[in-house]
Chains A and B, each alone.
Chain A
Amino acid sequence: MNDDQIKAMLHDLAAAAPSTDVWAQIRKRVPSRPPRRPFWPKLKLRPTLVGLDVVAIAALLVAMFLPGFVSPTANMGKPGPPAANSEHQYPLTLAQFVQLRGGKAGAMLPTALPSGYQLTDIYGRDTVEDTQSGSQTLTQTIKLRTWEIFYHKSIASYDKQEELSVEVDPQAQIIYAIDQRRRIPQGLDAIGKPGVDTQFEGQGMEAGRMTSRTFREDRVIELYHDSTQAPRSQFAAVYFDNHDTARTVTRFFIQAHTSISDDMLTRFADSLEPIDPQNLARYQFGGNAAQQPMGLTYHDDRSPSYSLADFVSRKAGDPDLMLPTYLPSGYKLEDIDAYGIFLAATAADGKTVTMTIHNKRWRANYALRSPDLLPKPLNIVVGARDPQTSSDQFYQSWMGGVDTSRRTASYQLTDRRIELYHNAVYAPDSQFAYVFITNPQGEIQVACTIQAQFSVSDDDLLKIATSITRVDPQHLERYP
């Protein structure tokens, strides 16, 4: 059988399960907000404004009106029985954590950190699970089923890139999965054996990314490389045997949002030790969990639609700040969608901290409007190539899913390549165009997709494509 025959066979077979409405089935089990780090965990510990100074009260008011704010009430959960298979997350001080977990599996912290990092947050998570007992389904709450520990490097900037997190599962199972009929949890012994299944579902720890596995007397350390974010490894997993009959292990999943050397990650992993309750300062490195909360979550800083002037002022200097100077008659720029590019958070001192994501795509929305007709939209999606991505990879990624059989023409100009596409569904003429702005070496620097949902002639599309140019902030009138 060749590949196409196997494909046909599987698709025929899959047709026996044609459709479903999953949302209708799970919507009642979905919490109103996905589990996440609380926006300002300190509030939960102090749910009153008494004793807070003016700055703190102002910060609270600002925070409450930011999108994504998680109120103390929301964090605490609503009255009534918790939803099955749900999680409840809450901040803990180090002392509280030790009180709850001290002496049990996983109550460990590192004594070696990358330079400048401090312990800032601990979040415990209780889970509510359905368990089967005979014919009965029981709902069981497991206190502190997992927890997550956060370290930050720069308290001043609150930069996500300077965050180091450790997620701990004290009841992880390593399952030896070679023989389907003998799936026995194997504990630490199984790590590194062919066919083990760690049952871990986070991103970043795929086997193909692992760069080393080191066996110590009491732990196994795995380092993982993430080429999309950093030149060096910055994920690590550390396993400890729980020595229980269920052969469970404690797994520490360490994630750095910036490049940390293999050596440092290994030292971090080797330094994990049972917490000495008499010497908590040893683990805090000057920080103080849940007392100076760093639990910042960045949000889109406002409505995702920007005027041209606003957008240009924020994105000035980025290579993909490009727009056409030509548009078909009557079309005008309405606004610009920049969701996820300009982020903001409010720090504990009330200051707003902002961050710009430079390589994220954005979209300029144009429309032809007339009093008697519905608007005819035309938009242009723009994105810059990340220097770590090759020109070919970027092209493949940008064109992923495009049916190349619909291409009607392509043009190679000095500084750009233009491809026109026909889409019979919407219009008689071509109305999709892809523009790839290249450097003198022919490498793509910026890509643009022009999408007209109503008929635009090939000639007009080509004129738009050739007129796309870097925006001059001093002459915005050039960009209709």
Chain B
Amino acid sequence: MDYQWREDSEVLQRCLAGDPAAYAVVVGRYQNEALRYAYLITGERGAAEDAVQEAFLKVYLNLRRYDPARPFRPWLYKILSNESLRKRRKLDKAAPLDDNAPAPSDPHEQAALDEQSTTLQQALASLPPEQRTALVLKYFASFSEAEIAAITAARLGTVKSRLHYGKLALERIIRERYPWLANEYHASPLKEIVR
């Protein structure tokens, strides 16, 4: 059967009916965006890959809980968020984040390290995990605030607060510690966002 044009709910029900190959289709649909999301949360490519694998496996093992009347993607992200945060915590235990570590003051030195992405990641990692998760769910994964509330098991007001303070904190961190980065994103025209 050609699953390409079928909705997630149909493909997953096929999977529940005994066709595990159907799950490969669902994995294929979401794996790359899931990896990018996990990378933004964990800050480490290997940990992100682990988180994505564990999340897809967990989804499969919990498919009996899947409700076809509801969209699949928020549920995937709920599990993926938890897995990503767990991986992040493990990394923190191994090498705790040091919020007070001095940031490179010379942008050229930073550039020499070819680490704009590292710098961005450091700024993001400086945020409390709840704020980071909310920001990434909204601005990367394009979920509504209500969906973020469902994914993170938080009240809507809490999500709004996390987004508000997360944005302020991110802006402050970038201005104070990575000022050239603020200029980069203020000065350059926006790149087309392709999901």
Contacts and interface: CB of A to CB of B under 8 A. Distances in A.
B112 interface: no
Interface in A327-370: 339-340, 361
Contacts of A7: 139-140, 190, 193
Contact of A340 (B9, B120, B128, B136): B9
B155 A17 contact: no
Interface stretch (A21-29, A44-52, A405-413): A21-29
Interface residues of B, number: 83
Interface stretch (A195-203, A284-292, A428-436): A195-203
Contacts of A201: 58, 62, 78-79, 82
Interface in B122-168: 124, 128-130, 135-136, 139-140, 146, 149-151, 153-156, 167
A19 B153 contact: no
Given A22-B52, A201-B62, A85 B57 contact: yes
Interface in B11-59: 13-18, 20, 23-24, 27-28, 31-32, 34-40, 45, 48-49, 52-54, 56-58
Interface string A1-23: 10111111111111111111111
A197 B151 CA distance: 12
Contact of A202 (B28, B35, B62, B120): B62
A16 B45 contact: yes
Given A20-B52, A181-B96, A199-B82, A340 B68 contact: yes
A299 B16 CA distance: 9
Given A14-B37, A17-B39, A68-B17, A198 B153 contact: yes
Q: What is the interface of chain A mostly: helix, strand, loop, or mixed? A: loop
Contacts of B53: 22, 25-26
Contact of A20 (B23, B49, B57, B185): B49
Interface string B98-132: 00000000000000000011001100100011100
Nearest to B97: A180
Contacts of B58: 201
Contacts of B150: 206, 208-209
Contacts of B54: 85
A382 to B, nearest CB: 14
Contacts of A27: 24
A203 B185 contact: no
Contacts of B95: none
Contacts of A181: 92, 96
Contact of A8 (B24, B28, B185): B185
Interface in B149-195: 149-151, 153-156, 167, 170-171, 174, 182, 185-186, 190-191, 193-194
B7 to A, nearest CB: 8
Contact of A6 (B6, B37, B170): B170
Given A29-B57, A36-B64, A181-B92, A67 B18 contact: yes
A203 B151 CA distance: 10
Contact of B16 (A6, A36, A85, A205): A36
Contacts of B13: 300, 339-340
Contact of B67 (A3, A85, A87, A203): A203
Given A10-B139, A228-B69, A1 B182 contact: yes
Contacts of A195: 130
Nearest to B182: A1
A1 B64 CA distance: 43
A17 B35 contact: yes
A258 interface: no
Contact of A13 (B6, B18, B120, B156): B120
B31 A299 contact: no
Interface string B56-100: 111011111111111000010011001000000100100010000
B31 to A, nearest CB: 4
A400 B15 CA distance: 25
Given A1-B171, A300-B17, A17 B185 contact: no
Contacts of A4: 190
B64 A35 contact: yes
Contact of B65 (A16, A180, A183, A203): A203
B133 to A, nearest CB: 11
A439 B33 CA distance: 40
Contacts of B57: 26, 29-30, 85
A195 to B, nearest CB: 7
Nearest to B175: A1
A34 B64 contact: yes
Contacts of A11: 140, 191, 193-194
A5 B190 contact: yes
Interface of B: 1, 6-7, 9-10, 13-18, 20, 23-24, 27-28, 31-32, 34-40, 45, 48-49, 52-54, 56-58, 60-70, 75, 78-79, 82, 89, 92, 96, 116-117, 120-121, 124, 128-130, 135-136, 139-140, 146, 149-151, 153-156, 167, 170-171, 174, 182, 185-186, 190-191, 193-194
Given A4-B190, A69-B18, A200-B153, 9 more contacts: A13-B39, A20-B31, A180-B129, A181-B92, A197-B153, A207-B154, A208-B150, A300-B13, A339-B10
10 contacts: A6-B167, A12-B116, A22-B35, A31-B20, A33-B20, A34-B61, A181-B96, A203-B75, A208-B156, A300-B13
Closest 7 CB pairs of A and B: A14-B36, A17-B39, A206-B150, A34-B63, A68-B17, A22-B31, A10-B140
